[in-house]
Amino acid sequence: MNRKDFIKTCGGACLGVIGLGLLVESCKPMQYAQGTIVNNQLQINKSNFIISKEDKISYRRSVIVKSENLDFPIVVYRFSETEYSALLLKCSHQGSELSANGDILTCASHGSEFSNKGIPLQGPADQNLQSFKVTTDETNIFIQLT
Ligand code: FES
């Protein structure tokens, strides 16, 4: 095998592995959490992100938070122990509810897609999603609603 064929083969294999990883991530069932609103802060426990399996602990990438006081759910992404983002699952195009597929948020109404930072990746939406300031302590995540 010459160098060019080797690069083509390895590059294709790498893309396949990356694509499979993204597919597996998007097929994982979403975790839902019930949030509590106190003083205009939506609070959830960090334990909602923990996956405990055979003495191994790993973390979910995202959790969807619902509260009876919210018109739309909020998706919370975990980037590290102290770094989270919170986005309203309301499309910035015409206000339909979005669904979370791994790190991509999609709108079934007209096909817009957003990143896990709320940035439009595909139109017709051209505005960022509403995001919220997030703070944490040892055990909780606090989402400032206004
Ligand atoms: S309402 Fe979401 S793309 Fe139109």
pLDDT tens digits for range 58-75: 888 999 998 888 889 999
Query: Is 12 contained in some domain?
Result: no
Query: Is 85 contained in some domain?
Result: yes
For residue 108, the ligand 1 atom closest to its alpha carbon is 2
User: Ligand 1 in contact with 133 (CB < 6 A)?
Assistant: no
In this structure, the residue with its CA closest to atom 3 of ligand 1 is: 110
Domain range holding 34?
30-144
Query: Is 94 contained in some domain?
Result: yes
Asked if 104 and 114 count as a contact pair (C-beta separation under 8 A), the reply is: yes
User: Ligand 1 in contact with 125 (CB < 6 A)?
Assistant: yes
36: CATH: 2.102.10.10
> What is the number of structural domains in the chain?
1
Query: Is 87 contained in some domain?
Result: yes
Flag the least confident range among 27-31, 37-41, 59-63, 107-111: 27-31
pLDDT for the residue numbered 18: 44
pLDDT for the residue numbered 20: 43
Query: Is 129 contained in some domain?
Result: yes
Strands 104-106 and 99-101, bridge-based pairing: antiparallel
Predicted model pTM: 0.77
User: Ligand 1 in contact with 96 (CB < 6 A)?
Assistant: yes
Residue with tokens 């509590």: 36
Query: Is 7 contained in some domain?
Result: no
Whole-number Cα distances in Å, 128 to 2, 28, 100, 117 = 47, 25, 15, 8
Query: Is 24 contained in some domain?
Result: no
Read off the pLDDT of each residue in 25-32 and give the average, rounded to a whole number.
64
Read off the pLDDT of each residue in 31-47 and give the average, rounded to a whole number.
87
Model confidence pLDDT, tens digit, residues 94-139: 999 999 998 999 999 999 999 999 999 998 999 999 999 999 999 9
Q: Residue 91 C-alpha to ligand 1 middle, in angstroms?
A: 6
Contacts of 23 (CB under 8 A, 6+ apart): none
Query: Is 23 contained in some domain?
Result: no
